[in-house]
Amino acid sequence: MMKRFLSLLVVAVLAGIMTISTYKLFLEPEAVVVHNTESKSDTIPVNYTVPNTSYTASAASIDFTEAAEKTVNAVVHVKQYGISRTPRNLMDFFRNGGAAERRIQGAGSGVIITEDGYIVTNNHVIDGASDLEVTLNNNKSYKAKVVGTAPQADIALIKIDSDQKLSYIPFGDSNSAKIGEWVLAVGNPFNLTSTVTAGIISAKSRDLNEYDDTAQSFIQTDAAINPGNSGGALVNIKGELIGINTAITSQTGSYVGYAFAVPSNNAKKIIDDIIEFGDVQRGIIGITGGNINPSAVEAYDISTSQGVFVASVAENSGAKKAGIKEGDVIKEIDGLPIKRFADLTGYVNSKRPNDIINVKILRKKQELVVPVKLTKYEIQSYNINDVGVEVVNPPKDYLKKFKMDHGVVISKALSSRMKRYNLEGLIISEIDGKKVKSVLEVKKIIESKYPDEDITISLIDREGDKREFVFQ
């Protein structure tokens, strides 16, 4: 009897083992084991088993709440009001000749950068505004004034006056930001105030206008950015400002995964220039060039596929004085790798004239490091399109012929109407009653005007007489 009982027990145990083994092999769901090296109580513990999930250790250990709390109160809603004379319909056109005025409104975001009310935003957010209104996260609204703009970089500095100290976001180092790093985009998309989205840095030194020496070197992110986010903050998980959200690439006008921000180092330099000098102090190396291509590799026997190829060197430039030559390849600046033209423009745009940078070049398979003193960028000509003329800086001693100590020279007429008056060589001494001494000053005055605003030009004729003309 006992032997029979033991036999039945052995059979039952073996059957149980086979059943469990079969379940383990074929039926039990596969577990994902998350190895977390941190011991915080609010994260998944080491070896915690999560069946059928896609959690990863990096996603689980990142906490965005601190960065959001630090930044959401320092990102504001910027509303701009202007006047449009565009007809809304055919009735407007026939009744008013296309000149019916109507008040229009645009909106974007801005970032408070000082406790006394300085705010950085995009130039396109405030461009053409007759009035600016800034609303804080606590719903308090203030009138804002424009301190200065940098249209080429799409950066503007505005200010509000508050009777209390304001929350602000400190600048981080955008050069230290890494691809794959977590970031938050904070702004007001579609007028949804105080919206926070998360993503990573997808790319750096992204150039949307390749080979243009005024091009930006954007940070690319997959954090969701939509209309209304322009001028808002891109911050790291420490709550530091590493970019000003500026643009998206989309066929629909809404976010599809590609968004771009002006690096904080470039924005900070522009802001500092505006506050200290009144305009942007742009330094240049003094070369033309671009990314390395197969034809340059073959023609100059280049031994690298990354860097900036030097096509020419400007006379009297810092590059010329430092000994940089045509055919050289720029590999590094101040220890920062230069893989493409956007790396170079992005870094140099964060510097000022007379700053000295150390440039590593590759010349005939030999690496050299040379110090280059940046020179000031000066625009040589400017088209006043509303007037129909191009102006240039006066040649040396040219103004003495007109007994003038300031002014710019009309180099050519642009419109058929202006070509009838033989204006080439005449002096424009003032615009809207303001003396002008350079093409840059002309550019600043013209670009600060509202759309459809009249322009008054003071012209010195060939007899030295001053004449005024109003252009609508």
pLDDT at position 419: 87
3-state DSSP assignment of residue 5: helix
What b/e string do you get for 282-308 counting C-beta neighbours within 10 Å, with b at 16 or more?
bbbbbbebbbbeeebeeebebeeeebb
What's the CA gap between 468 and 113, in Å, rounded? 43
Catalytic residue among 127, 154, 207, 222: 154
pLDDT at position 417: 85
54: number of CA atoms within 13 Å, CB side? 0
pLDDT at position 318: 96
Q: Is 154 a known active-site residue?
A: yes
Contacts of 247 (CB under 8 A, 6+ apart): 154, 208, 218, 230, 259, 260
Do 360 and 331 touch, CB atoms closer than 8 A?
yes
Catalytic residue among 202, 230, 317, 411: 230
pLDDT at position 378: 80
pLDDT at position 272: 96
Q: What are phi and psi of 95, to 5 degrees?
A: -75, -40
User: Which residue numbers in the chain have pLDDT < 50?
Assistant: 2-3, 5-6, 8-57, 86-95, 97-98, 211-213
Q: Is 176 a known active-site residue?
A: no
3-state DSSP assignment of residue 320: helix
Q: Is 230 a known active-site residue?
A: yes
Containing H/E element for 264?
Answer: helix 264-277
3-state DSSP assignment of residue 440: helix
Catalytic residue among 61, 84, 92, 124: 124
pLDDT at position 389: 93
3-state DSSP assignment of residue 314: coil
Please, what are the domains in the chain?
73-159 (2.40.10.10), 174-277 (2.40.10.10), 283-376 (2.30.42.10), 381-471 (2.30.42.10)
